[in-house]
Amino acid sequence: MHLLHVLAAAGSTGEPTLRPGLDPDQVTPGPWGFFITFGLAVLVILLIWDMQRRIRRVRYREQAAQAAEERTEPAETEQERQRRLDAELNGRITGRKPGEAGEDSTNQRPDRDGTPGS
């Protein structure tokens, strides 16, 4: 037989009783115990509600940032594409590949005064 079966058979014989000399009011939580437990439950519910609101705000901010990034990304991609095409065209004209010695490392066209510009 298992230990739990032995303890269950030996332990309870029906209705639970208190030790002699103890009053049920001394061992139950009473109204104050109820109020404190109820207050803690309300506090936990309010904390969970507030945390959900904060997490939702973080998600919305992240989505807005991603949407803004997606809106600005094509313009940057177009600029990079234009730079790459310019470098390829310069390479065809000069007969050099981009990145070879003698080429301006900034891949920018010189301004009118001869300095590299945009």
First CA to last CA distance, the chain: 89
Q: Which residues contact 108 (CB under 8 A, 6 or more apart)?
A: 116, 117, 118
Could you tell me which residues come within 8 angstroms of residue 83 by beta carbon, excluding any fewer than 6 positions away?
Answer: 107
pTM of the model: 0.42
Cβ distance 27 to 16 under 8 Å? no
DSSP SS3 for 50: helix
pLDDT one digit per residue (tens) for the chain, 118 residues: 577 777 766 666 667 777 788 887 777 888 899 999 999 999 999 999 999 999 999 999 999 888 888 777 666 677 888 888 888 888 888 877 766 655 455 555 656 665 655 5
